[in-house]
């Protein structure tokens, strides 16, 4: 069976029909719709000489035995955010199905090839992203906290997972899945505007940004809005406002894709008749270079202290979460570049702002690379998410070529 990229597009539409509604994709992990998407995927692969397995973290694996026990992994996630797009995550599992068909038809591959559908990449229901891949990578270290997590309806994480056959306490046993992994490939929509602005269908991902996430709290003094002269105020919001403008300058000065976002500010008492006493800011900073990321953070800290002094308020920092930049494998980046040039003429290398399952796999020491396909208007996590069908087809071809090149390289090495 030769590769049929148009079939991938048709199957993605089928999946959209089956698991979406007028508001978009509804394949939230650990729900019935998600289970039905997993069942759909199983049907697509039925009839191929593959072994299916669901690991301790709920990841769904299909294995095509090859000459060698060493494995090429192709992975994506079929779960979506609520009211999500039709391509985020699903593109790679469905494209992976097509590559598996082609490989199975060609006879026993040099390497064992496995397709993985990671469980709960989005973390939409419990606020914990990359669940299945972090378990397989062995980097999941928050099980105590996960035990307490609940969804909007009060469902507790361990119970909801148990209903899907996953025991939280055993999730880390999924680590054994990566034991023979020699390479990991993931195709994903870009979810940003870069490739479209360059008029390129495909790009190679260099790695995922490191992230520093902090709560920055400015503390002043609540005081009557009418009786407190302007020069006597200790206005916490003034410090926060200055910081919000400064982080944009910090990102601009740092460059190379640097991004800084103040995603929220909560002010207290938060009434129109009072000067703001506390302003709690949520700050997110990202860069592909660890040194630059650390610099951006210390620049923001220094600026916040300066503004606090200027406004006669206090400032404190608390880290919410961080992750180091994760760089993909240089040799695989070359092969990915080659594959893209073969199918689309021109390639481009870019970092990924969003995290992906690939970051967890790379963190576990498996040589990894990702391909991005252009997203129209850079939109994702919305029903407006889209990619031209012609570009989707090119992406399936590029993934297929990359799979072959990777097999050849690993088998030769």
Judge contact between 113 and 71, C-beta under 8 A. yes
Nearer to Zn ion by Cβ, of 87 and 333: the residue is 87
Q: Which two tokens stand for residue 148?
A: 């307490």
Q: Check binding of 89 to Zn ion (CB under 5 A).
A: yes
Nearer to Zn ion by Cβ, of 88 and 196: the residue is 88
Q: Check binding of 96 to Zn ion (CB under 5 A).
A: no
**Interacting span for Zn ion (CB under 5 A) from 83-91, 219-227, 288-296, 309-317:** 83-91
Rounded Cα distance between 354 and 91, Å, is 16
Q: Check binding of 192 to Zn ion (CB under 5 A).
A: no
Q: Is 165 helix (H, G, I), strand (E, B) or coil?
A: coil
Q: What are all long-range contacts of 80-83, with beta carbons under 8 Å and residues at least 24 apart?
A: 80/19, 80/24, 80/25, 80/26, 80/27, 80/28, 80/122, 80/124, 81/25, 81/28, 81/122, 81/124, 81/381, 82/23, 82/24, 82/26, 82/28, 82/124, 83/23, 83/24, 83/25, 83/26, 83/382, 83/383
Cβ of residue 165: shortest distance to Zn ion, in angstroms?
23
Nearer to Zn ion by Cβ, of 88 and 393: the residue is 88
Please spell the DSSP secondary structure of 321-370, one letter per residue. Answer: EEE--EEPPHHHHHHHHHHHHHHHS---EEEESS--HHHHHHHTT--EEE
How many CB atoms sit inside 10 A of residue 162's CB?
Answer: 12
Cβ of residue 123: shortest distance to Zn ion, in angstroms?
11
Nearer to Zn ion by Cβ, of 98 and 186: the residue is 186
How far, in whole angstroms, is CA 312 from its chain's centroid? 40
User: Which residues are bridge partners to 215 per DSSP?
Assistant: 282, 318
Nearer to Zn ion by Cβ, of 91 and 279: the residue is 91
Cβ of residue 186: shortest distance to Zn ion, in angstroms?
9
Rounded Cα distance between 10 and 392, Å, is 11
Interface positions, 161-190, toward Zn ion (CB under 5 A): none
Please spell the DSSP secondary structure of 187-217, one letter per residue. Answer: EEE--SSHHHHTT-SEEEEEEE-EEEEEEEE
**Interacting span for Zn ion (CB under 5 A) from 22-30, 85-93, 298-306, 394-402:** 85-93
Q: Check binding of 56 to Zn ion (CB under 5 A).
A: no
Q: Check binding of 367 to Zn ion (CB under 5 A).
A: no
Cβ of residue 20: shortest distance to Zn ion, in angstroms?
16
Nearer to Zn ion by Cβ, of 24 and 66: the residue is 24
Judge contact between 60 and 54, C-beta under 8 A. yes
Interface positions, 207-266, toward Zn ion (CB under 5 A): none
User: Which residues are bridge partners to 181 per DSSP?
Assistant: 71
**Interacting span for Zn ion (CB under 5 A) from 86-94, 107-115, 228-236, 268-276:** 86-94
Cβ of residue 351: shortest distance to Zn ion, in angstroms?
16
Cβ of residue 406: shortest distance to Zn ion, in angstroms?
21
Judge contact between 335 and 72, C-beta under 8 A. no
Cβ of residue 276: shortest distance to Zn ion, in angstroms?
37
| CB-based burial label for 118 (10 Å; 0-12, 13-18, 19+) | buried
Rounded Cα distance between 294 and 298, Å, is 6
Nearer to Zn ion by Cβ, of 280 and 360: the residue is 360
Q: Check binding of 88 to Zn ion (CB under 5 A).
A: yes
- Count residues binding Zn ion (CB under 5 A): 2
**Interacting span for Zn ion (CB under 5 A) from 31-39, 88-96, 165-173, 291-299:** 88-96
Q: Check binding of 132 to Zn ion (CB under 5 A).
A: no
**Interacting span for Zn ion (CB under 5 A) from 56-64, 82-90, 104-112, 217-225:** 82-90
CB nearest Zn ion: which residue?
Answer: 89
Q: Residues in the site for Zn ion, rule: CB under 5 A? A: 88-89
């Amino acid at each position: 069976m030769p590769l049929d990229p148009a079939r991938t597009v048709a199957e993605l539409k089928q999946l959209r029909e089956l698991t979406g509604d007028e508001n978009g994709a509804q394949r939230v992990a650990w729900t019935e719709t998600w289970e039905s998407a997993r069942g759909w995927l199983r049907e697509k692969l039925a009839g191929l000489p593959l072994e299916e397995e669901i690991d301790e973290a709920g990841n769904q694996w299909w294995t095509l035995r090859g000459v060698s026990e060493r494995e090429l992994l192709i992975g994506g996630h079929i779960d979506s955010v609520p009211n999500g797009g039709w391509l985020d995550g699903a593109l790679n599992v469905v494209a992976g199905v097509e590559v598996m068909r082609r490989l199975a038809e060609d006879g026993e591959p040099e390497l064992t090839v496995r397709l993985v559908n990671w469980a709960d990449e989005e973390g939409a229901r419990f606020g914990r992203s990359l669940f299945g891949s972090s378990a397989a990578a062995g980097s999941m270290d928050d099980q105590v906290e996960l035990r307490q997590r609940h969804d909007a309806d009060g469902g507790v994480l361990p119970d909801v997972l148990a209903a899907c056959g996953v025991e939280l306490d055993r999730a880390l046993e999924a680590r054994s899945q990566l034991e023979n992994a020699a390479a990991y490939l993931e195709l994903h929509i870009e979810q940003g505007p870069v490739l479209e602005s360059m008029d390129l269908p495909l790009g190679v991902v260099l790695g995922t940004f490191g992230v520093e996430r902090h709560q920055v709290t400015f503390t002043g003094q609540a005081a009557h809005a009418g009786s407190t002269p302007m020069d006597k105020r200790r206005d916490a919001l003034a410090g926060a406002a200055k910081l919000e403008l400064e982080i944009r300058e910090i990102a601009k000065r740092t460059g190379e894709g640097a991004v800084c976002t103040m995603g929220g500010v909560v002010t207290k008492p938060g009434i129109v008749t009072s000067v703001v006493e506390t302003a709690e800011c949520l700050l997110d900073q990202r860069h592909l270079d660890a040194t630059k990321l650390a610099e951006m953070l210390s620049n923001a800290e220094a600026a916040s202290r300066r503004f606090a002094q200027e406004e006669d308020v206090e400032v404190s920092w608390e880290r919410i979460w961080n992750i180091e930049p994760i760089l993909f494998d240089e040799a695989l980046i070359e092969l990915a570049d080659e594959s893209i040039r073969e199918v689309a003429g021109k390639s481009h290398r870019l970092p990924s702002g969003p995290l992906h399952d690939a970051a967890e796999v790379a963190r576990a020491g498996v040589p990894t690379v990702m391909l991005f396909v252009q997203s129209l208007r850079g939109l994702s996590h919305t029903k407006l998410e889209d990619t031209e069908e012609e570009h989707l087809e090119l992406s399936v071809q590029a993934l297929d070529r990359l799979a072959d090149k990777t097999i050849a390289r690993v088998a030769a090495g």
